[in-house]
Every structure is written in C-alpha cells, then in structure tokens.
Amino acid sequence: MIGKVTNPNIEIKNIPNIANPNIGNNINPPVTNTSQSLINNSSIDVLISMLSILWIIGTIFLIIQGIIKYYKVSKALETSTIIEDNSIEVLKKIINLKRNIKVYAFDGIKSPLVYGLIKPKIVIPTSMVEQIHREETKHILTHELIHIKRFDNIFKFIWSMAIYIHWFNPLVWLSAKNLLRIWNYPVMKR
C-alpha cells in the first residue's frame, strides 16, 4: 500500500504498489543504524571546525608577524640617511618615471631594496653611497626604479596577503619561493 488518503468525499484505503511490487505494502522504510552515521557526521563536523580554527589562528599569526616585521623595518629605517644626488633624477627620466622617489642609505642591509607601498623609497647599503656614480650602481638603482614603475612593491604586498590567507597550501609556498625570480626576470631583461 502506498498510502491512505482521507477526504470527506473520497476514501482510498489500499492501493497496491504497481511500480515495484517487491517493496510491499510497508509505509515505513526499514530502520537503519543511524547512530553510527550521526557519529561519523559529528566527528567530521568537529574535524572541520578544528581545522577552520587552526587556519584562522595561522592566518592571524602570519598577519601579525608581517605587521611586526614591517613596523620593525620602518623603525630601523628611521635612522637611514637620505642621499641628495642628482643621478637618481637622471635615471628616472631615462625610464620615464614621474613619481617622487628618494634614495636612502642604511647600514643594516646587504643589497638594495624598495620599501613602502604608497610612497616607495629605494634603500641602499651605506657601502654603496660613495659608489653612486659608478656604472654598476646606476644599473642597480635603475633596476629598483623599474620595480617601482611596475608597482612590484604593491603586487608583492598583495602576494604576501595571499600567502597569509592560503598558508596551508604547499603550492603557495612553492610558488612564493620562485616569486622573486619571476618578478626580477622582466626587470633584468630591460
């Protein structure tokens, strides 16, 4: 029997199941062991919740670590000295860069870098200051200026945020290792 329909005008009591006679006239499906499936579902929910909490903690930890590093570098760079030299203006004209870029010298680094998002600056080791007019140093400064012109510092920040969010993905870490080489390749070609 499929069901019993009660209507004040029509009463149908027994309708045989024509589509599948093997089912019989049992309205209720057979009772299965639902306690085992509930345990499996609840343990999966607990595992997903624990992994979600772990992911959130890891993301927050990496973001805080990044903020602390940025703050420490900012504080350290406050002791850097600005380099007043006309050669940077000449190099900016050569690559057609119109932004106001300043060059700073700092003892605590070994190689030049671009620092800052909104107002990027080039920071060079103090040992390079007396060599600023040499051809090799001009190439290094041009390299850093091209990074600024291409907004690589902003892309690097966005990429860092992606790493912070997707820290659990090993492919992100593998690609991050190659990121510097990928960003430097077009700059080096110029």
In eight-state DSSP terms, residue 110 is S
Q: Which CATH class is domain 79-189?
A: alpha beta
For the chain, what are the domain ranges? 79-189
Q: Give yes or no for residue 11 having a pLDDT over 80.
A: no
Beta strands in 29-182 (DSSP E): 81-83, 103-106, 113-115, 121-125
pLDDT of residue 39: 57
105 C-beta neighbours (distance < 10 Å), count: 19
- Of 17-21, 94-98, 184-188, minimum mean pLDDT range: 17-21
Judge whether residue 97 has pLDDT over 80.
yes
- Please give the Cα distance from 35 to 118 (Å, whole number): 58
Whole-number Å distance between alpha carbons of 82 and 104: 4
Confidence of residue 165 (pLDDT cuts 50, 70, 90): very high
Give residue-wise pLDDT tens across range 40-91.
678 888 999 999 999 999 999 999 999 999 999 899 888 888 988 788 888 9
- Cross-strand partners of 125: 106
pLDDT band for position 17 (cuts 50, 70, 90):
low
Rounded Cα distance between 10 and 15, Å, is 14
For residue 19, what pLDDT is reported?
54
| pLDDT higher than 90, residue 122 | yes
What is the arrangement of strands in the sheet containing 81-83, beginning at the earlier edge strand? 81-83, 103-106, 121-125, 113-115
Task: Give the mean pLDDT of 133-151.
Answer: 88
State how far the Cα of 141 lies from the Cα of 92, in Å rounded to an integer. Answer: 10
Q: Do the Cβ atoms of 115 and 127 come closer than 8 Å?
A: no
